[in-house]
Each structure stands twice: as structure tokens, then as C-alpha cells.
Structure 1
Amino acid sequence: MKLKEDLNPILLLLFHLMVSIYTIITFLPSYLLSWVSQPDGGFYGSEEERAKRVKARSVEGCPEGPYRAVSATKRLVTSLHPGVDTLDKVFEYAATRFPHRDCLGTREVISEEDEQQSNGKVFKKVVLGEYRWLSYQETLTAATQLGSGLASLGQRPKTNIAIFCETRAEWIIAAQACFMYNFPLVTLYSTLGGPAIVHGLNETQVTHIITSKELLETRLKAILIEVPRLQHIIVVENTPTTWPSYPRGIGIHNMTAVQKLGARPENAARERKQPLPSDIAVIMYTSGSTGIPKGVMISHSNILAGITGMAQRIPNLCEEDTYIGYLPLAHVLELSAELVCVSHGCRIGYSSPQTLADQSTKIKRGSKGDTSVLQPTLMAAVPEIMDRIYKNVMNKVEEMNCVQRTLFILAYNYKLEQLAKGYSTPLCDRLVFRKVRSLLGGRTRVLLSGGAPLSAATQRFMNVCFCCPVGQGYGLTETCGAGTISELWDYSTGRVGGPLVCCEIKLKDWVEGGYRSTDKPHPRGEILIGGPNITMGYYKKEAKNQEDFFVDENGQRWFCTGDIGEFQEDGCLKIIDRKKDLVKLQAGEYVSLGKVEAMLKNCPLIDNICAYANSDEIYVIGFVVPNQKHLLALADQYGIRGSWEELCNSKAMEELVLKVITEAALTAQLERFEIPRKICLSPEPWTPETGLVTDAFKLKRKELKTRYQDDIERMYGGK
């Protein structure tokens, strides 16, 4: 995974001379310091040594498991603090311990303006000020008043209420209000289409919904007539105060007005009914990657167990940490991460993918993005975002002059070697990687990755250039996002770590796919996760519950993930396949579409790819979103002219891109039958707004198949 070296020998000699001098000067003090401090062995040693340390073991000694973390072999952990057994108590505990510390922060909007691009398109750009903070006590007060106000508007305990809103401070305030007053919170992605929103609201029979002004105007207004039970809409902004041209019978209120209503003495004095650990806290609707979104019922005790397991994998988590929230709070990864932070008194500053960095699409040139201002120490990201960062930085490296590029490559490869030996590289970090690290604020100490597999190349890049470990995790909405997270001192790639202390994992033979727990050298099979973090099931989907969940003879609840994994000698899990992504070709070969996509997404020419195969055909095809810079360079190299759309529709360009993809596939050691034989190029990127990927950027295969049906028929010779 080293960068390719084609270097000036004089520069090479100078670099190694400088590094040697620095190593000699710093070796003795660092050796003495490490000898005196006698650190925890888990954090030290070579990469190979750390990777071999046992993280989990089979409780019964059987290859199929169940496997538990070495610190939880006798008992699974269910809560962070004694007596704190519901989510309202978590926040009250934090507000008692950290009443005056910053809790939720939002940047002030100084100005907005339209900026015309060279292609004639107009983008809205913003200039943002500093973060303004609510303390833990102020946040608790705001949530208490909102909960009281909602009760005054007729919301009843154990009666569902919906939130359809972007990630922002008001989202968490509303969630805490619902937790306190035992209102089960129905969460919906803000990018869901109209039919999916209507389905979720009608299925859960909500009468109250919390949303933003923009989403009300652009997404909800058109479908209100299809949600007859809806009576009250609470808008998180304070303006406007009147709402003309909305259906009669629906009251629209600003959040501040509802909080003022809740603060009235006669309402504030009303006794609230506290939730039980077994009560539903959230009905979280999935992103719908496999069809109509399903509502997952999650109890207070489920979430508490999940965040307890996650928190245990983040060393030295405390009130000094700052987390940046920008992923959808309707996604279990983001909600769990923020609740982990709240439980430890961290501060959470809010952002969005459009304002995250200085170069983000909505940030005016010359002004600062959110990471530069907030300088977070903790961050969660989906692989798609880290892949983009990796490709953008490597493109910048290609544009450097000879000396700069040489220094970067030397430092990168040198640091890779030192990380493998278990050593740090403060000189390289300060002189070479500081500018790259500043893209995320410069203080990030932990990156959590989830939602999809992270490629080895991207993980190594983040380790090297951002000077921090990447905790790669595996979990699902049905497990509260909790399953595994790699130990932060384990820099090995391609694995997702051992089970968290809140759950256990076992493997079930999948004979049709050829995976068995008796396989050598590692046991393999479908991943089953059990423990107190396993949710209550799907809302009003009893047949699906019987299919995906079960309770064993000890009363423990389990979820069948549909993913295929293998346990390695040290107890780490590796995801190797997915039952739903496995397609049997006409000649009998099995193709894992997810594996093909993961291998090819590292190709610089590819921004996104969806592999497709039909069981009636003998080969794989693919839909590709090409990288604009690299595709234009390829077209220029072969003298092909045209607009972006014309290039993407060009047969000649398809053949050139396919040649590059085939070479990348062979380098990645894909089998011949796994390599796409034909492709089509998409001029439009796949974003959650297009409906072709989820908010976590997972492919929606059904929608992609519908979108590219004509191309599928063409590539398979239909026309």
C-alpha cells in the first residue's frame, strides 16, 4: 500500500539523512520515557504484534462461537452508570455532572449570496461565524419545556411522534424531550421520497411531527393531504409565525412557541410519566436500500446497551472532547455516536456535508468551513466521504511540483513503515501532514467508520495523513448500530474488530453459498448478533420478525444479519460477503457484487460503481459514475472531444474506461468471471437526493436497476 516511488536520488539521500539524524536524537528520550511509564501493552508493539493480540474468543470453544470480547466473556455489559437505565436519565446524569459545560453548538449565519459558476449554474454560498453554544443545563431545560409543550398540544405517553429534520441541535433537543415524556420517536430520513414518508407517517399513525421550514415547504407540504391523522406540525425555526395555504385542521407551531407553552406554570407542574427501560424509545425507519423502509422498534435499554459497547472502544473519552455532527441523525450510527458523547459530557458542534470543510460546496471562497472553526477531536464518517477525501488529496499530490511530491511520497512511505513497527513520526506529522490534517480541523484523535466496508488504501491514508486511528465498525439498525469496532491500536486493515462488550456473535453455516464454521483456516458463515442491544423487531411486520429475529433457550435475543463473516485467530471479524449481494451466473459461478464494487472503487477513474448480474446471463455488467477530472484527461489523451454528457454517452469512452477497470480488477485479483464485461457511464453523480443511494451512500440496487433498465438490456444484447 506504499505510494509509487520515482524519486530523485539526491532528494532521497537528503531525506533519509534528515530522518536518521532526527531518529538518533529522539530515540533515547522516547525509549527511556516508554520504559519508565510501562504503558498498557495493547497500545504498543509492531503492527503484526498488535494485530495478533486476542480481542475476543469463543465462549464454548466451538469454531461457530458465540464469540465475546475478552473483557466480557462472563457477562455482557448493559449500561454505562448504575441506575441510569433509560435515555432521559442519561441526559439528566450528564446535566448534573456538567451543568455549565458546552453541549450543543450551531454556527451563526453571517451572510448568504448566490455565486455563478463557469458553467452558468448558480450555487448558494454562505459565510458562517463562530459556534454559539447551549450548556448541558440549558439543553435539558429546552428539552423539558418542549416535552411539556408537546403534552399540552395533546401528545400522549406511548403514542408515536415523528421527526423529519436535518441534523441540527434542535433534533437532539426534540429527541430528549420525547425520551423524557415517553413519546416513542419515529425517525425518517430527510431525503426519503414522498411515498416513503407517507408510508412511515401513516403506518405509525402519528398526529404530531417535528420538522424544519425547508423540509415542510419542499417535502411535506405536497403530501399532507395523504396523512389524514396529522394534527400538529412543529417547525424548529422561529420564523415565520403565520402559515397560509396549508390544509385546515393542521396547526403549525414554532418550536419556541411550544417551549413557552410548556414553561407555563400550570403545564410545567404537570407530572410526567417516565419511561421504563423496556419502553420503545425510537421507531427508526431504514433508508430503504432494499425496498419500502421498515420501522425498527428500539427500546431505551437497547440503545443504552449499544452506546455502552461503543463508548468502551473509545479510549480516554471525556468532557474535553469535541464531536462534529453532520451525518443524518435518522441513521443509527450518528444518533448512537451523539448519545455516547452526551453520556460523557462532550460538546457537539453541528455541521453538514455542504459546510464541513473550507472547500465544501456551500462555503464561500476564503471563509472557513465547520471543521476549521470547531476543530473536533472525534468524528464519524461513512467510507464514501473518506474515499472522496483520499482521492481529492491524492489528486492534489499529483499537481505538486517535483520537490513537494517527492517529499510527500517519501514521508508517506516512511510513516507507513514506522506505523507497522509501532512507532510515531512527529517530524513528518508536523512538516508534511499538518496541512492535510487541518482539513478536519487539525485535532482529530479518533475517526469512527461505519455504514459500509472501508478499503485498506483509504484506511491507511487516513492513518498516515490525518495522524489518527480509524475505528472501523460493523453494526445494523437492528442491533442499534452495535456489533464490532476495531481496537484503535490495531492498525490492521480489512477487518472490523471483535464483538463489543454489549453483544456476542456466532456464525451460522450457509451451505448454498459454500460457507461453513468448519472451513479452514478460519470459520465462516452468516453473522448472527445477540445481546441486550438487539432491537424489538420491525413495526407491524410480524412475518419479517419471525424470519430475521429469534430468542434462544437462554432467553437471549438474536438478529440474523444476512452478512457473511469469518473469525480470525485473534477474535476479529472480517466481512467477506452478503447473502443478498450474491448472484449465481448462468454457468454456475457465484459473484459477490459488493466485493466487486469494493475492489473497483479504489480506481481513481471511478467515483461510484454498481455491479449488476442476471442469473440468466454469463457475465457481470456495471453502472459507473466516472471521476470528471480523470475521465476528461483520458478523453484528451485519446483525442476524444465533446461535452461531459457526450463523453459519458460515447461508446469509445466506455471501451477506454472498461479497459482501465479491467486492469484495476486484475490488480485487485478478482476472478475473470467477477470482472464487468460491459459498462455504462453516468454523467450525473449518485446522491441521496437522486434516490439512487441512501443517506449513508449505500446503493439502492432496485432503484438503480430501474434507472438503467435500458442500458441493462443493451449491455446484455437485448437491443
Structure 2
Amino acid sequence: MGVHRSDLHSLLLLPLYILVWLYSVLSFLPWYYLTGAGEKRARAMRVKARSTSGRPEGPYRCVDSFQNLASEDIPGKDTLDKLFEHAVQRFQGLDCLGTREVLSEENESQPSGKVFKKLILGEYRWMSYQDVDISVTHMGSGLAALGQRPKSMVAIFCETRAEWMIAAQACFRYNFPLVTFYATLGEDAVAFGLNETEVTHVITSTDLLENKLKGVLPQIPKLKHIISVDQGTISPEGYPLGITIHSMAAVQELGARPEHLAKPSVRPQPSDLAVVMYTSGSTGRPKGVMIAHSNITAGMTGQCERIPGLGPKDTYIAYLPLAHVLEMTAEISCTTYGCRIGYSSPQTLSDQSTKIKRGSKGDSTVLKPTLMAAVPEIMDRINKNVMSKVQEMSYFQRTLFNLGYNYKLEQVKRGYDAPICNALLFRKVRSLLGGRVRLMLCGGAPLSSATQRFMNVCFCCPVGQGYGLTETCGAGTITEVADNSTGRVGAPVLCCEIRLRDWLEGGYTYRDKPHPRGEILIGGPNITMGYYKNESNNQDYFVDEKGQRWFCTGDVGMIHPDGCLQIVDRKKDLVKLQAGEYVSLGKIEAALKNCTLIDNICAYANSEQNYVICVVVPNQKRLTELARMRGVVGSWEEVCTNPAMEFEVLKEIKQVAITIKLQRFEIPVKVHLSPEPWTPETGLVTDAFKLKRKELKNHYIQHIERMYGGK
């Protein structure tokens, strides 16, 4: 009788299994005591927050600030201008903000006929803290020379780059409240925000000015000055009379003149407005959240405490939208502690990114960051890319990778590590992000347990999950570095506390077993001032009997015995089906993102129907492979519209849904496959990649009607 091929492979791998086991036994005790693993494990197991009232609904407060909520990290530095000046005094000669040099641009034709722009980039060019300080002063002085007055707003509509942060710090120093817009926000939404805030000065890039802003300028009568962050002059032709266009360099030159520098600036108070942040919300018109200096300093105090050892040895890679509260507070925190910030973009982040010419280096490879923030969509993408490369390996390589992965996964779950696997197996994966990342922070939406474990294992660093909103200045909860659990967002940070409020319609109460559940309310000095000129929406804010501000998030959470929070639902995502069952669309989407054929999914339910449907962006590589196996030929669009492929995706959806125990009525019955991915540029998701349900419904209305039996 012959030996089966898989048995032969197992026999060949047996010495490897024995070697790994021997290594584990011999190295465990020295490693355990030398790295302080026991202490870290004890910290992970400790109670992190307790109820101040002793009642299950809270308020819950971090045990490290149980007596008082923290509002300042550095005593006496209670406004953003003071924080930056303090940093300049301490770190003046160190690198602060870095931008890569563009060496050349090339157009690359694709087989489909599309032409993609590819970049060849050089090294990072750095400005020191002192250089940035001078630029900030000249920019603020220049804006004042152009007629900007203290407490009058300046708008910034620009991509994430060093000039954004310089302009922001100038506004903080001269007490010009900053109005921020996402670079991907639609023209009408930007025009609405500029008119609502009545700004006279806007800072933007040439690209956004020419392609977005120019068309709506006649609708913005109060606007007088446009400042472009790019070099070179812009022809005034085609622009309304009364609008002057300047370069940022020209404004700084104006501000550097002795007669303008001599004029003293009016410094802000902690209670003064620092930012009006327009959120590209998942519903309706954008809302401007009013954020005071004291809100940001409190929020940062909470966030920085959860990043051990933050300081001049750290390098942060900045590529998320600076108009998002997560990125803005992360960068201000980094400058406060003397870190250096290297600017990037999602299109240039790694060697494989879309704008990087094949064979040249992405930003992570050159910068080698130690700190990185991300949204789940980006981490999911990295996970799928790496795992698809693993599938292309030979049987032996794949088995070796899986052996190492599973071994380290077990170690990570116990709160330990696997140094030999890190050195031999995961070094190449780590190098995708430069090889030095020591901490990743994820926010914006829930991160799946599978993706979090993947990042822990392959990138050899803790992945902290955070929960917060623009309305809470990005602060709410963050997991501690030692906490090796998944699916949770950590305990309240030092500056705030959390309460649960019963939501009877959804079936959530603080009396629920085994853990109390309810709508999450966040209170503390980080709670913002409300929505600008939008009283109708301010009912989500309230002040309690002690004078503390609170925000009602609309998210539903569950408190674990150690005081950590888990997000379990969202009030706005709940739909009642015709038969009376309540379905949570967010819960369905989070569960079904685990399907290998799915890159993104939007579940939909109509109250007049008795079943759920969904629109899916399929994984192109996996679905194309499956189509070939099923004999389906044609373009990507033809593969997506083929009923046989819809059937295959539905089949996998049902398998995954049954495995993770979704209720029968929660499992989508019909599916539409969308050949186009959802990006902020399409307007179907926000900049944090949250679904815009209203826009998605309007975009796919014909397919929704078809799936519900219409035409």
C-alpha cells in the first residue's frame, strides 16, 4: 500500500513540530522572567474601571483617575498654543514634520485601458520644531495682515500634509477658530459649511480649488481670500471678482514683515472655540461640531496615557484625514511629546500602494514608523492581501507559515509571545509597514477579532482599539497595551466616564445577564460644546446635576466585569421586519465581513418586507478564481452580474451566518454584487469608511427593488 501524499508531508514536518515544542519548553522560563511577561499578564487581568455609584449602569470610571477626571496632561498648558510652545522649548532642534520629495511622475496604462499616475518618491525632508514654530508665527501674522480677526473663523479644506498642521497651529496661536472639512466632502456640503460659518479666508490645495471649490465659489458671497498650500501662482481667470488668491508662502512672507510681526497676537482662553469640525456623517447634511481648547487638551490627556513611552524616539505615520478627530488629536499629541510626524497617503503608504511605481519604495519602508493609527477597513485590506499571498505559496511554505501562525496565536491568546516566529516567519510581513511599528491604534468602526489577532501575530505589536466620537473629542475608551482580549474597546480613558441607559425597544437594559447593557453615554471635560447653528440636534447633549456635560452616542454597549466596554449594536441600525422581528444591520455586516468572498457589505431591510437583503463588494481575486472554476467567463462587471456568482456568494454568506449563529431572519436572502469598490471618493462611505446608508440606498435603489420583487 502506498503512503498518502498528505501523510508524507506530515511525516516530513514531524521533526519541525518537535523542534518548535522543544524550543518552547527550553526558552519559556528565561523569556518569561527576562521580559516581565508575568507582570504584563497580571496587568491585563486587572480591573480597569469601576462604577462610581456601585450600580451596574455606572457611571464607570478608570481606576487610575477614580477620584477626579483629568483635564490637563501638562500642568498649566491648558490651550493648544501653550502645548505647542512648550514642545518647541523642549525639542527645538529635533525633527518635527516630514514630507517626501516627489522625484518624478509617470503615467502607466492598464490592460483595461485606464491610465494610472505613478510616483517615484525620494527621502523625507524634515522641518525641526524650531522651523515649524517660525512658520506658524509667520502664517498667523500673515492671516492677521490679510484682515483676519481673533475669534473669527478660518476654514481649511485640504488633504493631510505638513501645511495643514502648520496652518492649524497658526490658527490656535492667533485665536482664529479653525473650520475643517474632509478633502472628499462634496462641493455642495463644503459650500454649505463655508456659508454657515461665514468664513472670509479658506486654506486649500490647488487640486481641491480647481476641481471642487471653484465651481461653487459664486454661492459663497462672504469669501474674500483663498490661500493655496502649494507652490506657484494661480491665474485669477474664471474666479469671482472680490476673491484674492494667495500662496501659503506669500502669506508667510507677508507675516514675516517686521511691521506685522510687531503686532501682538490675542491668545485663546481654555473655554474659547478651537475647531468647528464638519463631520461627513452617515446621514443628511454635515454637522459642525464646536470643540473648545479645553475639550481637546482633556481628550489628549486621556489618549496619551494609553500610549506608554510616547516621546522623541517615536515616529508617527500620518495618512488618515486630518479633518477627522482621531488623526487631528493623534498629531497634536505627537507634537506635544516630541515625536516626529512623517506624512503619507493611503495611495503611497506601502510598496504595493496604488500610486507607488513598481520597484520603488512606499512611505512606510522609508519612514519606518513606530506608531500608526488605522481604521478597520485598512487593517482588513492588509489582512486579506497577506493571506492571499500565503495561499500562493508552495504547500511546504504554506504549512510552515500556518504552523508558526497558529503556534504564535495560542501564545498571544495566553498573553505571551513567540520571538523565534517573529524573527523567522513574520519579519517580511512586518516590513510591509517598515518593520518598527510598536503600537497600532484602531478607531472609527469596530475591528473584527480575526483581523485584530492577525495584526497581533503578523506585525508583532499590540493593536489598541479605541472608541470615541467627534462629539467627545475622539476620547471615550482605549484598550491598554497589556490587554490581549479582542472584540472590546477598553476602559474609559482618564478624562471621561461612561454610563449605560436602558434601550427597551432594542431589548437592552442594565439588568441584563451576564453583563449590563444599554445605550452608551459619555461624560467629562472632553465633551464638546454642541453643533454649530444646529439647535435641533443638540438634544443629544445634556448637563447633569453636578454640572458635567454628557453626550448620548446612539451606540449600544456592554460592560465586562473588568470595566471594559464592548460595542454590541447601534440604535440607528435597527429595523423592524414585517413579522415583528428586530434586525440590527450593523451586527449582520460585522458578522458577514468574515466571508472570504466579501470585501465590503451593506445589509438592508424594509419594514414592509419579512427578509433582509444585501449589497456586496466582492473580493475580486477570490470571485474571479471561483468564476473560472464554475466556467463563468467575461469582464469583472459580467462576473458580478452573473446569477451563478450571486448564488455562490449567498451560499458562503449562509455558511458563515450559521457558523456564527445568526438568527434565521438575520441571514440575507438575496444579494447584489457591486463591481465598484466603496471609497470616500465615491461618496458611499465616510472618510472613516463607515457606510452612508442613505447614499447607498439611493445608489442601488433599482437593485433593492429587484431583490424585493419589483421590476
TM range (shorter): over 0.9
8 Å CA contact retained: 2:94, 2:128: yes
In 1, Cα distance between equivalents of 2:103 and 2:671: 46
Q: TM-score, normalised by structure 1?
A: 0.97
Is 1:591 the counterpart of 2:592? The answer is no
| 1:137-156 → structure 2 map (5 Å cutoff) | 137-156=130-149
8 Å CA contact retained: 2:233, 2:246: no
Q: Which residue of 1 aligns with 2:13?
A: 12
Report the alpha carbon displacement of residue 25 of structure 1 after superposing the two structures with TM: 4.5
Match of 1:223 among 197, 201, 216: 216
Match of 2:626 among 626, 629, 634: 634
Q: Which residue of 1 aligns with 2:255?
A: 262
Q: Which residue of 1 aligns with 2:110?
A: 117
In 1, Cα distance between equivalents of 2:7 and 2:46: 37
* Structure 2 counterpart of 1:589, one-letter code: E
Match of 1:44 among 41, 66, 69: 41
In 2, Cα distance between equivalents of 1:267 and 1:419: 58
8 Å CA contact retained: 2:413, 2:485: no
Q: Which residue of 2 aligns with 1:579?
A: 571
Match of 1:451 among 441, 444, 452: 444
* Structure 2 counterpart of 1:144, one-letter code: T
Q: Which residue of 2 aligns with 1:556?
A: 548
In 1, Cα distance between equivalents of 2:302 and 2:87: 18
In 2, Cα distance between equivalents of 1:455 and 1:24: 32
Cα 1:459–1:11 change in 2 (3 A) is farther
In 2, Cα distance between equivalents of 1:44 and 1:345: 30
SS in 2 for 1:8: helix
8 Å CA contact retained: 1:52, 1:569: no
Residues 640-679 of structure 1: per-residue CA shift (max 9 Å, x gap): 1221111212222212211111111112211111011011
Cα 1:688–1:642 change in 2 (3 A) is same
In 2, Cα distance between equivalents of 1:474 and 1:7: 49
8 Å CA contact retained: 1:108, 1:132: yes
In 1, Cα distance between equivalents of 2:475 and 2:319: 20
* Structure 2 counterpart of 1:26, one-letter code: S
Match of 1:680 among 662, 667, 672: 672
Is 1:568 the counterpart of 2:565? The answer is no
* Structure 2 counterpart of 1:30, one-letter code: W
Deviates most, 117-126 or 439-448: 117-126
| 1:659-670 → structure 2 map (5 Å cutoff) | 659-670=651-662
SS in 1 for 2:639: helix
| 1:138-177 → structure 2 map (5 Å cutoff) | 138-177=131-170
Is 1:316 the counterpart of 2:292? The answer is no
Is 1:29 the counterpart of 2:30? The answer is yes
Q: Which residue of 1 aligns with 2:535?
A: 542
In 1, Cα distance between equivalents of 2:235 and 2:249: 14
Report the alpha carbon displacement of residue 236 of structure 1 after superposing the two structures with TM: 0.4
Report the alpha carbon displacement of residue 288 of structure 1 after superposing the two structures with TM: 2.4
In 1, Cα distance between equivalents of 2:651 and 2:591: 15
In 2, Cα distance between equivalents of 1:502 and 1:275: 21
Q: Which residue of 1 aligns with 2:96?
A: 103
Report the alpha carbon displacement of residue 19 of structure 1 after superposing the two structures with TM: 1.8
Residues 354-385 of structure 1: per-residue CA shift (max 9 Å, x gap): 00000000000000000000000000000000
In 2, Cα distance between equivalents of 1:689 and 1:170: 22
8 Å CA contact retained: 1:51, 1:570: no
* Structure 1 counterpart of 2:18, one-letter code: L
Report the alpha carbon displacement of residue 542 of structure 1 after superposing the two structures with TM: 1.2
Match of 2:231 among 214, 218, 238: 238
In 2, Cα distance between equivalents of 1:217 and 1:31: 59
Is 1:282 the counterpart of 2:279? The answer is no
In 1, Cα distance between equivalents of 2:340 and 2:486: 30
* Structure 2 counterpart of 1:700, one-letter code: K
Cα 1:548–1:397 change in 2 (3 A) is same
Report the alpha carbon displacement of residue 224 of structure 1 after superposing the two structures with TM: 0.6
Q: TM-score, normalised by structure 2?
A: 0.98
Q: Which residue of 1 aligns with 2:693?
A: 701
Report the alpha carbon displacement of residue 424 of structure 1 after superposing the two structures with TM: 1.8
In 2, Cα distance between equivalents of 1:207 and 1:465: 49
Report the alpha carbon displacement of residue 247 of structure 1 after superposing the two structures with TM: 1.6
In 2, Cα distance between equivalents of 1:294 and 1:145: 31
Q: Which residue of 2 aligns with 1:527?
A: 520
Instruction: Mark the runs of 5 or more structure 2 residues left unpaired by the alignment.
Output: 1-5
* Structure 2 counterpart of 1:16, one-letter code: Y
In 1, Cα distance between equivalents of 2:604 and 2:170: 45
**Percent of aligned positions that are identical:** 68
8 Å CA contact retained: 1:42, 1:489: no
* Structure 2 counterpart of 1:408, one-letter code: F
In 2, Cα distance between equivalents of 1:696 and 1:7: 48
Report the alpha carbon displacement of residue 40 of structure 1 after superposing the two structures with TM: 8.9
| 1:704-715 → structure 2 map (5 Å cutoff) | 704-715=696-707
Is 1:716 the counterpart of 2:708? The answer is yes
8 Å CA contact retained: 2:289, 2:532: yes
Deviates most, 189-198 or 237-246: 237-246
Is 1:370 the counterpart of 2:371? The answer is no
Q: Which residue of 2 aligns with 1:511?
A: 504
Instruction: Mark the runs of 5 or more structure 1 residues left unpaired by the alignment.
Output: none
In 2, Cα distance between equivalents of 1:437 and 1:7: 32
* Structure 1 counterpart of 2:369, one-letter code: P
8 Å CA contact retained: 2:467, 2:489: yes
In 2, Cα distance between equivalents of 1:241 and 1:371: 33
Q: Which residue of 1 aligns with 2:3?
A: none
8 Å CA contact retained: 2:32, 2:38: no
CA root-mean-square deviation: 1.4
Q: Which residue of 2 aligns with 1:650?
A: 642
Report the alpha carbon displacement of residue 631 of structure 1 after superposing the two structures with TM: 1.0
SS in 2 for 1:492: coil
Cα 1:678–1:461 change in 2 (3 A) is same
